[in-house]
Amino acid sequence: MTVLFKNAKVFDGSGRAPFDGEVLVSGNRIVAVSDTASDSHDSGAVEVIDCGQRTLMPGMVESHAHLSWPSSIGRVMNTMSLPPEEHLLVTARNARITLDAGFTSAFSAGAHGRRFEIALRDEIDGGWTPGPRLRASTLEIAPSHDQAGTPGVGSGQRDLQAFRAQIRAIAESGVDSIKFQLSGDEAFAAGGSQVVNYTDSEVAVIAEEARRAGVMLACHAQAAESIKLAVTHGFRILYHCIHTDSEAMDLLEANKDQLFVAPAVGMLWARTYEGEEFGITAEVARRMGAPLGIERMQEVIPEMHKRGIRVLPGGDYGFPYCPIGRNARDLEHFVNLFGYTPTEALVAATKLGGELMGKGELIGQIRPGYLADLLVVNGDPATNERVLQEHHNLTHIMKDGAFHKRPSPT
């Protein structure tokens, strides 16, 4: 299939201001980008999409995906536990909802089922189930059941050989990434965000075995020392980072070309201001550390941005108070809370997101040779990022050269 998007305001993901132009797609690739109109492609062999001066932009990347967290817009569930058969079906639905929201790629931050996302990724890649291009993960790994109720590497024995064996077994199951809880969290226990769950020697073994197996490492890291452990041992993405101190900040900056940070502010915002009907009163939110987390992020994230550390939207969506499908709200949080311009937030969600996926040469920009992951948007998200929150503003969604959404023929 060859498709010409013409009469578009092209936001190419690089940070350049939107320009009048057209984009030619053949198969699953962008083959030409032009800032001048041409009639040379207007033939029966080319389908022409007149964008009507709407914005044409790259598909976005969700950097903190929890597709198996049950709640999504239109189907909120005040539970995190379902029978496995229902849970897998809900996970597949959530993948479609994520794509409906304009996120054509997703990096997993953990799953409920050991193989849920592996099976889902393969179904999506085969073209049988709609969803984003997925870096699949498995259960989040904590050192014991005490921190978050999830099975842990070497649980109960802290044997370095058990760590190695567990990493090998997880990698052999087919995951792309493994997430560790290098720190605790206030939601797990009072003072938990300052608890470091692993020693340096344990993290060194985890990292060595993961590199040998060819899987990426992600982590929940709130305590400053947990951040330093993650950076020192080559974790790809660090979530939260609310207690970043000056030493950790310097370390992040020194390694900024090898790592990413995703604060996941969307969940904290919803927990603080929108959780009461789900039992999260203002006092409960305070005990869970949500308002404090936002305050700390407002201190550290602008400094990270200033230093060129790649900070990505991705808000921990899937809880009943912040359901999947609202993912684009994180761009507004980046603007309102962290001082990003709308354009900077868009670049983080597109170009930098493609780099996180390990496909920065293929995903996240509108350039010849890149995969055809494209959105046609009513409005100008480069000046008003909020337009992306309304799914009806996404008139066309193309992933890998195929339309997931387009207007019905009249």
Considering the domain delimited by 60-327, tell me its CATH architecture.
Answer: Alpha-Beta Barrel (3.20)
Helices in 61-192 by DSSP H: which ranges?
84-100, 116-125, 145-148, 160-172
For residue 120, pLDDT over 70 is answered with yes
- Which residues, including other chains, have CB under 8 Å from residue 90's CB and lie 6 or more apart? 68, 70, 72, 75, 77, 82
The pLDDT value recorded for residue 39 is 57
- Whole-angstrom Cα distance, residue 334 to residue 347? 12
- Which residues, including other chains, have CB under 8 Å from residue 168's CB and lie 6 or more apart? 209, 213
Helix axes 224-232, 200-213, angle to 10 degrees: 40
- Whole-angstrom Cα distance, residue 404 to residue 388? 16
> pLDDT band at residue 282, thresholds of 50, 70 and 90?
very high
CATH of domain 2-58+362-405: 2.30.40.10
Q: Which residue has the tokens 């993961």?
A: 210
User: What's the whole-number average pLDDT of the chain?
Assistant: 93
Q: Which residue has the tokens 């040998």?
A: 212
The pLDDT value recorded for residue 147 is 38
The single-letter DSSP state of residue 63 is E
Residue 224's closest CA among 238, 240, 246, 244? Answer: 244
Q: What is the mean pLDDT of residues 336-351?
A: 98
Residue 340's closest CA among 105, 108, 104, 15? Answer: 15
For residue 386, pLDDT over 70 is answered with yes
Q: Which residue has the tokens 């992020």?
A: 297
Q: What DSSP string describes 143-169?
A: SSHHHHSS--TTTTT--HHHHHHHHHH
| Domain regions of the chain by residue span | 2-58+362-405, 60-327
Of residues 272 and 408, more confidently modeled: 272
For residue 155, pLDDT over 80 is answered with no
Q: Is the dihedral of CA 311, 147, 317, 63 positive or negative?
A: positive
Q: What percent of the chain lies above the pLDDT cut of 90?
A: 86
Q: What DSSP string describes 330-382?
A: HHHHHHHHH---HHHHHHHHTHHHHHHTT-TTTSSS--TTSB--EEEESS-TT
pTM of the model: 0.94
- Which residues, including other chains, have CB under 8 Å from residue 241's CB and lie 6 or more apart? 221, 222, 227, 248, 252, 261, 263, 300, 304
- Whole-angstrom Cα distance, residue 290 to residue 48? 48
Cross-sheet strand order for the sheet of 177-181: 177-181, 216-221, 237-240, 260-262
| HSE value, Cβ hemisphere, 13 Å, CA-based, for 215 | 27
> pLDDT band at residue 41, thresholds of 50, 70 and 90?
low
> pLDDT band at residue 410, thresholds of 50, 70 and 90?
low
Q: What DSSP string describes 191-240?
A: TGGG-B-S-HHHHHHHHHHHHHHT-EEEEEE-SHHHHHHHHHTT-SEEEE
- Residues 148 and 193 sit within 8 Å (Cβ to Cβ): no
For residue 156, pLDDT over 70 is answered with no
> pLDDT band at residue 154, thresholds of 50, 70 and 90?
very low
Residue 28's closest CA among 50, 2, 10? Answer: 2
Q: Indicate the Cα dihedral angle 283, 284, 286, 287, nearest 10°.
A: 120
